[in-house]
């Protein structure tokens, strides 16, 4: 079975996707982390973020894989644990530029489809229901108000020791929403078969239970 979870930044997709995969015994794949790893690598190498060909060469050459810890999913690239590094503000600021290049998206979508090819997965991102897993049995679109999403992101960063001003995060998320939904390929959008969940006033547990009821109730 394939389950797609799409939605804007900070809507709580990753936490819910990881928990849902755990409940169902499926593998969780965080595709945002893959774009983040590529961005981190590109920044490390001082690449021009608008040089699509050079970035795509990098995308095709790196090996990203996930490891499940008890509470968190670790992201590794070429043997290095990048779980914390890919959440740094410089990656947040650059990732939607990297993710806007059509050839990069094609490379990433191929890798994601390959990862999901022979297993049951819960995959989260922006274009999962439309491009990566168009045949997914369930396509959830998880959203929340931009203010609530900024508040959650601020709390999440604070918990990992990064104290960033709420308004800075709000601006950043607004800019990223715009880039993610206006790009030409793989833009974030609600599909005709999306199941929309507005999590603004719901806890992770409530969103999870709602998804499980939909999946198991049929």
Work out how close the CB of 87 gets to ligand DC at its nearest, in angstroms, rounded to a whole number. 8
Shorter beta-carbon distance to ligand DC: residue 19 or 36:
36
The SS3 assignment for 43 reads helix
Question: Which residue, chain included where needed, has tokens 């999962």?
Answer: 128
Instruction: Name residues contacting ligand DC, limited to 48-87 (CB under 6 A).
Output: none
**Mask 24-53, x = binds ligand DC (CB under 6 A)?**
-------xx--xx-----------------
User: Can residue 126 be called a binding residue for ligand DC (CB under 6 A)?
Assistant: yes
What tokens does 2 get? Answer: 């394939």
Strand partners, 35: none
User: Can residue 180 be called a binding residue for ligand DC (CB under 6 A)?
Assistant: yes
The strand pair at 73-77 and 64-68 is best described as antiparallel
Q: Which of 96, 111, 143, 194 binds ligand DC (CB under 6 A)?
A: 96
User: Can residue 125 be called a binding residue for ligand DC (CB under 6 A)?
Assistant: yes
Q: Element (H or E) spanning 196, and its range?
A: strand 195-198
Work out how close the CB of 9 gets to ligand DC at its nearest, in angstroms, rounded to a whole number. 4
The SS3 assignment for 212 reads helix
Among the listed residues 203, 154, 144, 201, the one whose alpha carbon sits nearest the alpha carbon of residue 177: 144
Part of the chain binding ligand DC (CB under 6 A), chosen from 48-56, 91-99, 114-122, 194-202? 91-99
The SS3 assignment for 151 reads helix
Pair 5, 18: CB distance under 8 Å: no
- Residue 86's contacts (CB-CB under 8 Å, 6 or more residues apart) are 33, 36, 37, 39, 40, 75
- Let me know if 25 is exposed, middle or buried by CB neighbors in 10 A (0-12, 13-18, 19+): exposed
The SS3 assignment for 156 reads helix
User: Can residue 20 be called a binding residue for ligand DC (CB under 6 A)?
Assistant: no
Q: Number of residues interacting with ligand DC: please give it, by CB under 6 A.
A: 15
Shorter beta-carbon distance to ligand DC: residue 77 or 127:
127
Work out how close the CB of 132 gets to ligand DC at its nearest, in angstroms, rounded to a whole number. 7
What tokens does 77 get? Answer: 């690239």
Shorter beta-carbon distance to ligand DC: residue 99 or 116:
99
Part of the chain binding ligand DC (CB under 6 A), chosen from 53-61, 66-74, 119-127, 189-197? 119-127
Work out how close the CB of 13 gets to ligand DC at its nearest, in angstroms, rounded to a whole number. 7
User: Can residue 199 be called a binding residue for ligand DC (CB under 6 A)?
Assistant: no
| Residues of this chain that bind ligand DC (CB under 6 A) | 9, 31-32, 35-36, 95-96, 99, 125-128, 176, 180, 186
């Amino acid at each position: 079975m394939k389950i797609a979870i799409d939605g804007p930044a900070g809507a709580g997709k990753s936490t819910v996707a990881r928990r849902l995969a755990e409940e169902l015994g499926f593998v969780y794949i965080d595709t945002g982390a893959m774009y983040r790893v590529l961005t981190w690598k590109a920044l490390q190498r001082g690449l021009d973020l608008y040089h699509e060909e050079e970035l795509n060469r990098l995308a095709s050459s790196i090996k990203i894989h996930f490891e499940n810890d008890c509470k968190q999913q670790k992201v590794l690239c070429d043997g290095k644990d990048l779980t914390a590094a890919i959440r740094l503000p410089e990656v947040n600021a650059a990732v939607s530029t990297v993710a806007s290049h059509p050839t990069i998206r094609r490379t990433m979508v191929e890798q994601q489809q390959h990862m999901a090819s022979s297993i049951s997965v819960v995959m989260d991102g922006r274009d999962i229901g439309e491009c990566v897993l168009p045949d997914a049995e369930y396509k959830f679109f998880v959203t929340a108000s931009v203010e609530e999403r900024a508040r959650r992101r601020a709390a999440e960063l604070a918990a990992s020791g990064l104290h960033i001003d709420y308004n800075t995060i709000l601006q950043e998320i607004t800019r990223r929403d715009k880039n993610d939904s206006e790009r030409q390929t793989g833009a974030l959008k609600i599909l005709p078969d999306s199941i929309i969940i507005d999590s603004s006033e719901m806890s992770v547990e409530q969103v999870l239970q709602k998804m499980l009821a939909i999946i198991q109730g049929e």
